[in-house]
Amino acid sequence: MFQIFFKSNNSFEGILQEEKTILVLRKHPLFFYLPIFFFFFLILLVFAIIQFFSSSDFFIKFSSLIWFLYAVFCSILWLALFINLMIYSLSVLILTNKRLIQIETKGLFNYERNDLELFRIQDVSIEIRGILASFLNFGDILVQTAGTEVKFYFSSFPNPLKIKEDIFKIKNKFINYSGLNER
């Protein structure tokens, strides 16, 4: 029933002929689990506060209104959690044998897609900032292209050093296979 969430043929809209997907990456799982933890923490915190004041005269007088407002609060948090998890799931970095593609979802109906041909890549830098990022091995990846083109910036991806190595390995295979020379 839920195969759609787990099974993928690694295809995407706009795939070129003879293009094969090598990697499909999302941000570090911490950015998936942290909103869930925060959601449950807020729900339990507000519930505990309501329970603490449940014996007061004010609560007894307005209990129906308080429980209604709590239900509205939970619904708003649920919607915010859904949007956050949707943004996490739909924001991906795709490395193919020809391109590097970033699809960044910014809201319900707002996304940005950047494509970069592998032969245009000149340098890949990684940046790991902070103790948590060092401990959990996630960081930012900066891909430098020709001087006039925009730098591609990918934030909070797991194993940034491995991603950098994979990008260069696939880039070198692409250049050797297609006969392009680096300038």
The pLDDT tens digits for 32-45 are 999 999 999 999 99
The C-alpha atoms of residue 61 and residue 64 are separated, in whole angstroms, by 8
Q: Quote the tokens at residue 59.
A: 């609560």
Residue pair 142/132 in contact by the 8 Å Cβ criterion: no
Helix, strand, coil tally for the chain in percent (to 5): 50, 25, 25
Q: What is the helix (H) or strand (E) element at residue 79, kind and residue range? A: helix 63-90
Question: Structural domain boundaries of the chain?
Answer: 20-178
Q: Are 122 and 146 in contact (CB under 8 A)?
A: yes
Mind listing the pLDDT tens digit for each residue in 132-163?
999 999 999 999 887 666 678 889 999 999 99
User: Under a CB-based contact definition with an 8 Å cutoff, are residues 104 and 54 in contact?
Assistant: no
Joined tokens for residue 134: 């060092």
141 beta partners: 126, 154
Q: Helices marked H in 19-62 — which ranges?
A: 30-52, 57-61
Provide the whole-model pTM. Answer: 0.79
Partners of residue 105 on adjacent β-strands = 111
130: its two tokens = 């902070």
- Sorted by sequence, the CB contacts under 8 Å of residue 132 that are 6+ apart come out as 30
On whether the 20-178 domain is CATH 2.30.29.30, my answer is: yes
The one-letter code for the residue type at 100 is L
The answer on pLDDT for 182 being more than 70 is no
Residue 181, Cα to own-chain centre: how many angstroms?
Answer: 34
Residue 2 has pLDDT above 50, yes or no: no
Q: What pLDDT was estimated at residue 75?
A: 97
